[in-house]
Every structure is written in structure tokens, then in C-alpha cells.
């Protein structure tokens, strides 16, 4: 047996003494949905992206990360799949920022007459370390506090307890 022969033999038999590391740092956070019937209406697609953006933002806040890159995945009725991504002006974990970026990306996609079978939202390229909300931007401070309050209410009273108005 060569230098790796014994190791490979043991691994093939399921013997591995290395410790299991179940937790590792996330490289991205995503959510996607396959629809029972293809979506054709831009309003339906926007509602779906809003739901997905909410899930992504909630998970980012839970994990304590902020993303620099927001991406969407679109699978058409002919099963062709595309992805589009954009860089956020500043790292974010806010639902409204993720949703707005996802909507802009979807608006730029040429669909023709095809329906959409699947939509997904992904946040990645996480900022390192904690990021302070700007002291000189009161809107950013208010938005961050609002997102935190909404997350608390949804956790305490359920995901449908508080929703965004139009």
C-alpha cells in the first residue's frame, strides 16, 4: 500500500477519527420557491420575491451577518435558469434593501412570454465584523430599529403578526 492507501482503506470502511465540525461560517444565505403553477404576472413575482427577501433577511439577522451582494435565481417554464446579482451600496441585513435589490434585478430580466417556475433570493459576500449604523443618517438608524422591532414581534407572535403595508 502507498502512503495514502491505508487512510483511503479506512475511510472506505467508514472509519474516520477526525472530529465532526457541524458549524461553519455561512458563505451565503438563500431562499427559493418552486411554484405549482408558473407565474406570469409581475405582481405575483414581486410578492414571491418579497416573501423570499423576508426569509433571507431574517436569517441574516439571526446569524448576525450583513451582505454586500444580493442575487436572484429565475427558472423559466422551459427550465432555462438564470441568475443575476448586484452589489449593495453598503452591507445590509434589512428586508427592504434585499427586496428592493431583488425587484430591480427581476425588472431587468427579459422574460418574453415565458412563465416563471422558480424564484430565489441569495445574499452573500458578507461584511467582516460588526457594522455600526451611521450616526449621521437618522433614516438608517430608524430603519435598523424598525427591522429589529419587526423581527421581535414576528418571533413572539408568529411570522404573520406584522406585515408591510403597500
Question: How does pLDDT run across 37-92, given as a tens digit for each residue?
Answer: 999 999 999 999 999 999 999 999 988 899 999 999 999 999 999 999 999 999 99
Mean pLDDT, the chain, integer: 87
Q: Where does the pLDDT of residue 142 fall: very low under 50, low under 70, confident under 90, or very high at 90 and above?
A: confident
3-class state of residue 34 by DSSP: strand
DSSP bridge pairs for 34: 118
CA atoms of 150 and 102, how far apart (whole Å):
20
pLDDT, tens only, 89-139 = 999 999 999 999 999 999 999 988 899 999 999 999 998 755 455 566 677
CA 97 from centroid of its chain's CA atoms:
12
Q: What is the pTM of this model?
A: 0.69
Q: What is the pLDDT of residue 36?
A: 95
Amino acid at each position: 500500500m502507498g502512503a495514502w492507501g491505508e487512510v483511503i482503506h479506512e475511510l472506505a470502511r467508514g472509519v474516520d477519527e477526525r472530529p465532526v465540525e457541524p458549524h461553519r461560517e455561512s458563505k451565503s444565505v438563500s431562499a427559493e420557491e418552486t411554484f405549482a403553477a408558473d407565474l406570469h404576472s409581475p405582481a405575483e413575482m414581486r410578492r414571491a420575491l418579497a416573501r423570499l427577501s423576508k426569509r433571507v433577511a431574517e436569517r441574516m439577522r439571526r446569524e448576525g451577518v450583513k451582505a454586500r451582494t444580493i442575487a436572484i435565481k429565475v427558472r423559466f417554464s422551459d427550465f432555462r435558469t438564470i441568475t443575476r446579482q448586484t452589489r449593495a451600496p453598503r452591507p445590509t441585513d434589512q428586508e427592504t434593501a434585499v427586496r428592493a435589490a431583488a425587484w430591480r434585478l427581476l425588472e431587468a430580466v427579459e422574460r418574453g412570454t415565458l412563465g416563471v417556475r422558480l424564484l430565489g433570493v441569495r445574499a452573500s459576500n458578507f461584511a467582516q465584523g460588526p457594522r455600526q449604523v451611521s450616526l449621521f443618517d437618522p433614516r438608517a438608524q430608524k430603519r435598523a430599529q424598525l427591522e429589529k422591532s419587526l423581527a421581535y414581534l414576528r418571533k413572539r407572535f408568529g411570522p404573520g403578526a406584522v406585515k408591510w403595508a403597500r
